[in-house]
Amino acid sequence: MREGRDAARQRRERARRYEREDSRRYDSRSSRRRKRRKSSKLPLIIAVLLVAAIAAVLFVNALAEEFGYSREHQDLNAYFGITSEDQAVIISDKEVLDAAPVIQGDAVYIPMSLANTYYDNFYYDSREGHLLVTGATRTVEGVQGSDYLVNEEAYVSLAFLNRFVPMEYRIYKDPMRVEINTGSEAVTTDSLESDAKMRVSADKKSPILMDLESGDMVELEEKGESWSKIRIQAVEGYIESKALSGKETQAVPALSGGAEADDSYQKLLRPHKIVLGFHNVAVADANSYLKEAVGNTRGMNVIAPTWFAIADNEGHLTDIGSASYVSAAHEMGCEVWGVADNFTNQIDTNEVL
């Protein structure tokens, strides 16, 4: 009987062992099924998250596009009309000029034709290679470095021009530009209390001209509630008014130079109306016939005899004037204003000038 009980116990243990093994196999199969189900859902979850992220980015960008500020920058070369790297511009009293400067280090040269718009006394002697400045009482010859030639066109240095014209001028880079100011009107300035973007127009969608920093000083052209028009480094644009400190000051530009200007021409005025008559005097002997020439005139108070003629391209004159003629004219109550002609001799008037 004992052997029978042992055999029964062994059978029960084997049965329990088989049950445990079946349970483990079942659990393993269930676990694998769960893992397969989870792994099959993962790509879907990733795809959903990716789509959501893209949608969020697009939504944020759309909001920024609709309600945000433009980050586009306006090229200052295009702003000034510059088309090549070696090109520079002149801004004179806030106006961009067509004339181009020549910049050699710290020296700035402008076309003589432009220099004469500031002080109409410059002349370039191409034969001698000298720059001359003619005034009411003297002629000044340019020193070394005061002029520059480009394709036979004379340029005048601003430093030399500044001796005759009160002005201030500055050179800026990127792009290269020269700002000239000869104005005497008061300028309003203000400082920035925060960084700011200067834009082409008073609109947050407008392109950016310059990135300004807190503390920068700007010229205040127009102040508005939301936007203000300013000027800095010869660039004009708009910033939000909240960036201004409100510490405005007004001052007249401190122009320098101009001490050598010689414009003190004496005006020859008469208290009466000028009645002038020309007297064709071709030879010296004709001076003796003044009374016969003008005897029948009435009311004439100035006579202009053709005494002088330009003799050559060097500017020499021929002269057949007469002191006795002047005395006789004065006795008749006439002043004498001598006349020079440029047609008697074969000369080139442009070369003479």
For 232-272, write each residue's pLDDT tens digit.
Answer: 999 999 999 999 999 999 998 889 998 888 877 777 788 89
Q: How many domains does the chain have?
A: 3
pLDDT above 60: residue 155: yes
175 upstream amide cis, omega within 30 of 0: yes
Q: Are residues 199 and 239 in the same domain?
A: yes
Domain end: 205, 236, 251, which one?
Answer: 251
Q: Are residues 85 and 152 in the same domain?
A: yes
Alpha carbon 215 to its chain centroid, in Å, reads: 23
Element (H, E) at 147: strand 147-150
Q: Are residues 108 and 164 in the same domain?
A: yes
Taking alpha carbons only, the member of 182, 118, 119, 116 closest to residue 154 is 116
For 93-107, write each residue's pLDDT tens digit.
Answer: 999 999 999 998 889
Assign residue 221 the CATH number of its domain. Answer: 2.30.30.40
125 within domain boundaries: yes
How would you classify residue 347: left for phi > 0, otherwise alpha for psi between -120 and 50, otherwise beta?
beta
Q: Are residues 202 and 169 in the same domain?
A: no
Tokens (6 digits) for 58: 């697009």
299 within domain boundaries: yes
Q: Are residues 202 and 175 in the same domain?
A: no
Domain end: 135, 156, 179, which one?
Answer: 179
Domain end: 203, 218, 251, which one?
Answer: 251
Measured between alpha carbons, how far is 46 from 38 in angstroms, rounded to an integer?
13
pLDDT band at 136 (very low <50, low <70, confident <90, very high): confident
Tokens (6 digits) for 127: 């034969």
Measured between alpha carbons, how far is 28 from 40 in angstroms, rounded to an integer?
18
Percent of the chain with pLDDT over 70: 85
Q: Give 153 or 110, the one with higher predicted confidence.
A: 110
Rounded to an integer, the average pLDDT of 326-353 is: 88
Q: What share of the chain is helix, strand, coil (3-state, %, to 5)?
A: 30, 30, 40
27 within domain boundaries: no
Percent of the chain with pLDDT over 90: 54
Measured between alpha carbons, how far is 336 from 308 in angstroms, rounded to an integer?
13
- Do 197 and 239 form a contact (C-beta atoms < 8 A)? yes
270 within domain boundaries: no
Domain encompassing residue 247:
186-251
CB neighbour list of residue 59: distance below 8 Å, 6 or more residues apart: none
Q: Are residues 168 and 190 in the same domain?
A: no
For 32-79, write each residue's pLDDT tens digit.
Answer: 555 555 556 667 777 777 877 787 777 666 655 556 789 999 999 999
Measured between alpha carbons, how far is 134 from 159 in angstroms, rounded to an integer?
17
Measured between alpha carbons, how far is 285 from 303 in angstroms, rounded to an integer?
17
Rounded to an integer, the average pLDDT of 7-34 is: 59
Phi, psi of 86 (to 5 degrees): -90, 10
Give the CA diameter of the chain: 187
pLDDT above 80: residue 1: no
Tokens (6 digits) for 228: 């203000």
